[in-house]
Each structure stands twice: as C-alpha cells, then as structure tokens.
Structure 1
Amino acid sequence: MGNEFDKILKIIQGEIPLVKRPFLVLAKELGLKETELLKVIEKLMEDSIVRQIAPIYDSKMLGYDSALVAFRVDKERLEKVANFINSCPGVSHNYERTHDFNLWFTLAVLPDTLSLEDIVKLMAKRTQTQDYVVLRTVRMFKIGVKLDYESTLERGSFSVNTYTYIPLSDEEKKIVSVTQGSIPLTERPFFEYAKKLSISEEELLTKLREFKERGILRRISAILHHRRAGFVANAMSVWKVPEDSIEEVGSYIASFKGVSHCYERTTNESWKYNLFAMIHGKSMEDVQRLVERISGEKALRDYVLLFSTREFKKERIRYFSEDFDEWLRKITSI
C-alpha cells in the first residue's frame, strides 16, 4: 500500500482536472476505482499527510497587495507576538526561523483598506516590535510545492507565465469566495459548488477554466503536511546575487525539485539578500547539500540558511471576506 500511497500523493500534487468527475479521471490513471481513490485520499487527510485539496488562487491576480515580512522579536515574547500576527486574516504563513529576524510571515491585503506598509507598522506598534523588514517580490522564478522527489539535487523543468491583472466582477468574486477552501471529496465536487452559486456545473467549470487562462487560478491540487510526508527539513535560503546575474542564478536555483519557491525580492538597509529560495529536504543535510551545490556552481559566498523551527500558522486566506475589515476595526479601536 505504501507504493500506492506514493503514486496517489504524486498525482494529486499535480492538477485536479477541471471536469465533472475529476477523481474518476485520476483513478483511471492510477488503475483504481473512483471510490477507492476517494477513500485513500480521505485516509491521507485523516492521517494528516494531506492538509487539503483546494484551489490555489493568485492573490495578485485577485487584486491583493502582498509581501513577505520579518520581525526581530525577543525569544521570550515570540509566541505572544506570533499569536497576534496569526489573528490577522491576511496572514497565511507564519514561521519561527533561525535568524536574528526570527518571525517570518506573508501578508496579503486589498488595497482599498490601509496600505500594506501601514498595516505592518500597526502590527509592529501593537507588538512593540522595533525592527522589521517588508520584502516585496520583484520577480518570481518559481512557485509550487510538489514533494515527489528522492533527492533535493534532482532537477526538472518548470515554467512561470506572466499575466495582466483585470479587476474581477462581483460575480467572479463570489465564485472565488465559494470555491476557495477544501473541495468536497465527492464524485462531482464542482456540482456542489454550482448549487451554492445557483449556476450550472458546466457554467462553473467554464469559469474556472477561464480563471486558469487569466492566471487567477494557478491550479487545484493537494497540499501536504511536509513533515508527515517525510520532508522534515524546511529552510529559506537567501542569497546576495549581483544584479546582472539574477536571471541566470534564479533560473538555475528554480530548476531543482527540492526548491518550491524562488523569488527576487527588494532589499533595504537592514536586509541585503535579494534572492530567496524555499528548500524542502528529508534531512538538514539534504538541504545543506543543495545549498553547497548552488554556492559552488555559481560562486555565491554571501548567503544564509534560515531553518524553520516552528510553524505558527499555515492556512489559505479567505479572499473577499469581511474578516479582515473586522480585525482592522478591532485592533484600531484598542
């Protein structure tokens, strides 16, 4: 059964097809019955190997402003500060990492509220954090976690498409609101959504396919609990790369299967590293081996590895929800 689980994990980390019976399509590829595949997926979720199977929407293409933020927090206050950061509905990921800047989180906000920088300032003030950095994406080389490799040194093909933002209609925002989150583990999951939206199943599928073409929907796929899936080491590698080498180095780093995310980011007086890569390995040695390979191949000596030591939050934000406005009203009234 272990080998069968591996095959299922691999295929559901790909793309759940936008058809009426997506699990039937995947089951046929695996040589299983549709009911068998659904039962195995349920088991994987019960065992906390699979977090969820859900649409992955692009916050930028939904009109959100986003950034990676790092706080420098005294160790004895870290958990309290992390809990406050977690209370913000615009925060999706929040980790303790091995660095003086030890609390790292991603923040996404709609621009019709306060600016992202103003919200970070407000967070810093409420938590009495004096030192922090806001690191924006300049260029994306790769995004997408797919834990289906044996060694971090394996390389594969990847591609990143660029899209033009087009504001969503109220009807489109409603579709995003209803379809975000874990999809129903039923034979016809999109039918369940269509009923809530009072449209036909085919109308919904047509709209979701259009979302993919516009870059709004990246894909629908499984998100794993890394550690339960055997990838116990998770580190953010940050590199100081000469401007004229960013394209070459970013593409090279992104080609490794052990790298899930690779971005060029802004720098400032407190932060000099302009290239970020998330690495997932089965051990710390795996991660270090890949970093040494990159350093040697590209003659990069100025870098730091920030290992994740605690996960405070990892969940998708609820797009077009009133939760953020309510949170903002609450903390500004204190």
Structure 2
Amino acid sequence: MRDELLYEMQNAFPLTPRPFAALAERLGSSEEEVLDSVRKLKEEKIIRQTSAIFDTKRLGYHSSLVAFRVPEERIEEAAEIINSHPGVSHNYLRNHDFNIWFTLAVPPESCLGLEGTVERLKALTRAEEAIILPTLKMFKISVKLDTTGKQSKKEKVHKREFKPIRMKAKHYAVIRELQKDLPIVSEPFADAVRRLNMSYDELFSIAGELKEAGVMRRYASILNHRKAGFTANAMSVWKVPEEQAEELGRQIAEFRAVSHCYLRPSYPNWPYNLFAMVHATSQEACDGVIEEIAKETGLTEYGKLYSTREFKKQRLVYFDPAFDEWERQDA
C-alpha cells in the first residue's frame, strides 16, 4: 500500500474534512492505517511537506532560475548567503562551470526587483559570473514520481484553460493557510477552518476557485526524491531551434520521468534554451531517458547537469515579512 499511497498523495490529494479517510477508501485500507503510514513516511523524511502548490507569477511574484559560477573554495559560503534569501526555494550544486543553480522569487513590492536581487546576491557571494533564466514558455510542471513502477513511460500533458478571478481578502487568507504543512491527524484542516472562521465547504470552495483560476496548481505531497528511491536527477538542457521550440517542448514534456519542462533564454555563454528536469532511480536510468529524448527528437546539442548536493529545497512562503527584512538587512 505504501507505494500506492505515495503516488496518490502526489497526484490527487483529496480536499475534504477527512482526507486520510478518503485516501484509505481509494486504497482499500483504513483511516488509521493510512495515518500511521503517513506519519512513518514523514518521520523517515520521505514526505517533505503536504500543502498547496501555488503559481508564483499569478500571485504577482517575479521569479527565475539563476546560475552562478563560484570558485570551489567559496561554494559553502556562497550557498549559505543565497539560502538566506526567503525567495530562494531550491538551491543545488551541479556538475558544471556554472555550479550553483537556484530558483529565486521576489514579491511585486520588492525595492530591488528580481535583477537587482540577483546583482546583490552576486556581489555578496563574489560569484564570477551569473545568468538569469526566466521562464519564456512552460510546457510542464508536475513532480509526480512513479513510486508504483506501474505507470507508462509517456503521459499526455493537457493545456489547461483558467477562469478569471478577482482576488479578495478571503482568497489571500486561504492561501496563507493552505501553504502550511498539513498536520497528520484525522481532521487536518480543522485548525485552518477555525482560524479563518469559515466552514469546510467555504474553505474548499475557495480552494476550488483558486485552482480553476490557476493560482493554485494543486494540493499535494512533495517527496524527498532520494529517500523515495529516485537517487538521480539531471537538469537536461537542449539547444533547440526557435521555430521548433513549441513542438519539441511539448514532445519532451510527455516523458513521465520529466517533471519540469521550460523554454528559457539563451546567451553567448549559455547556448541551451530548453530545460527538462529528469528523475530516475539511478544515473544510468536518467542517462537512458535523456538518450531516448535525444533519439526521438533528433536533437544533438544538449547537456546533462546532475545535482551533486542539495543546499536548499522548501516551499516558498508567500506574503512573508522576511522578504522586506532581507532587503533592509542587506541594504
């Protein structure tokens, strides 16, 4: 049941008053058995967090993938400085001259803005070179590891149509609650309902509105890839002709092992414009997926950047006063 439970929690976590009972019903188990299993998975750090995943840009934040080239002797210090920024959710050491790769988001009211924040981090870390790689086109974002081993190699990636939404105070209040890690108890949303002074129906109705508008991508568990058995991940980068980018991006996104697929800008010192994150149970398996992508697409100019160390990985906390504090502190 454990592998199926992990897959369900990544894929379609139920937003109901008693979600673990709903999961138990799907899996032919009992609520108490599911709660016990989830507690163990959390204790073993296989499950990192269960919460809502929001679309940063739809909340007005400016974000980008950023790469720094930092001398080896300053890597530890640089990583610590980068991690101190509250808008850094992921930070990895990768096997490339551009060795520190992180995602950075800043709120709309940021005084520095995205580029200014990168410049300040570059100065503080004394990075020798930096590239900013914002998303130009997203083909896929869906970290759903196949813990069951039963899923097909390919999956259809459907383009979603979103409904317009007029954000009100109650929407922001719900976002603040749903971004918190879910307690592993029978009624885990009870405290949120009480703090919001809402009924369950109203809470889940607003969550539904946020999802239909694309503000909330989904509510799900995020796993520690390595502890879940996916010991290798490679950021595969591809040099794709501009006129083929749309077609090839969608084709690559259909590989189930690909969790993220984006079109990004290229530069004289960085020729790759299509990024596809690949997860597998070994480096050999990762290499196999990338070779299969190359064979199917006919692309010959590409690279594989393996993460050799994880400096930071956590959900972004929206509307956090820590953003203002960081800018004031390092002004």
TM-score interval, smaller chain: over 0.9
> 2:321 matched to which residue of 1?
322
Are 2:126 and 1:125 aligned? no
> 1:73 matched to which residue of 2?
70
Instruction: Describe the shift of the 1:21–1:153 C-alpha distance in structure 2 as closer, same or farther (beyond 3 A).
Output: closer
> 1:36 matched to which residue of 2?
33
> 1:239 matched to which residue of 2?
238
In the TM superposition, what is the alpha-carbon distance from 1:265 to its structure 2 partner?
0.7
CA offset digits 1:246-292 (Å, max 9, x no partner): 12211111111111000011122322111000000111111111111
- Distance in 1 between residues matched to 2:208 and 2:165, nearest whole Å: 16
Q: Secondary structure at the match of 1:39?
A: helix
Q: Which of these residues, 35, 49, 69, is aligned with residue 52 of structure 1?
A: 49
Are 2:297 and 1:301 aligned? no
**2:236–2:275 CA contact under 8 A, matched in 1:** yes
- Distance in 2 between residues matched to 1:98 and 1:43, nearest whole Å: 33
> 1:222 matched to which residue of 2?
221
Q: Which of these residues, 2, 5, 14, is aligned with residue 5 of structure 1?
A: 2
In the TM superposition, what is the alpha-carbon distance from 1:164 to its structure 2 partner?
7.3
In the TM superposition, what is the alpha-carbon distance from 1:110 to its structure 2 partner?
1.1
- Distance in 1 between residues matched to 2:328 and 2:315, nearest whole Å: 22
- Distance in 2 between residues matched to 1:80 and 1:106, nearest whole Å: 18
> 1:138 matched to which residue of 2?
136
CA offset digits 1:37-70 (Å, max 9, x no partner): 1111011110111112111111111111110000
- Distance in 1 between residues matched to 2:54 and 2:174, nearest whole Å: 12
Q: How does 1:106-255 map to 2 (within 5 A)?
A: 106-113=103-110, 114-148=112-146, 150=149, 154-161=153-160, 163=162, 168-255=167-254
**1:181–1:316 CA contact under 8 A, matched in 2:** no
**1:152–1:280 CA contact under 8 A, matched in 2:** no
> 2:61 matched to which residue of 1?
64
CA offset digits 1:112-152 (Å, max 9, x no partner): 11210011011111111231000010111111111116499
- Distance in 2 between residues matched to 1:92 and 1:240, nearest whole Å: 26
Structure 2 residue ranges without an equivalent (≥5): none
> 2:97 matched to which residue of 1?
100
- The letter of the residue matching 2:266 is T
Instruction: Describe the shift of the 1:151–1:7 C-alpha distance in structure 2 as closer, same or farther (beyond 3 A).
Output: closer
In the TM superposition, what is the alpha-carbon distance from 1:158 to its structure 2 partner?
2.2
- Distance in 1 between residues matched to 2:267 and 2:163, nearest whole Å: 28
In the TM superposition, what is the alpha-carbon distance from 1:234 to its structure 2 partner?
0.7
Structure 1 residue ranges without an equivalent (≥5): none
- Distance in 2 between residues matched to 1:220 and 1:186, nearest whole Å: 17
Q: Secondary structure at the match of 2:11?
A: coil
In the TM superposition, what is the alpha-carbon distance from 1:26 to its structure 2 partner?
1.2
Moved over 6 A (4+): none
**1:151–1:286 CA contact under 8 A, matched in 2:** no
In the TM superposition, what is the alpha-carbon distance from 1:163 to its structure 2 partner?
4.1
Instruction: Describe the shift of the 1:181–1:246 C-alpha distance in structure 2 as closer, same or farther (beyond 3 A).
Output: same
- The letter of the residue matching 1:261 is H
* Identical residues among aligned pairs (%): 46
**1:152–1:258 CA contact under 8 A, matched in 2:** no
Instruction: Describe the shift of the 1:305–1:101 C-alpha distance in structure 2 as closer, same or farther (beyond 3 A).
Output: same
Higher deviation after alignment, 169-178 or 73-82: 169-178
| Count of matched residue pairs | 329
Instruction: Describe the shift of the 1:153–1:80 C-alpha distance in structure 2 as closer, same or farther (beyond 3 A).
Output: farther
In the TM superposition, what is the alpha-carbon distance from 1:165 to its structure 2 partner?
7.4
Instruction: Describe the shift of the 1:287–1:152 C-alpha distance in structure 2 as closer, same or farther (beyond 3 A).
Output: farther
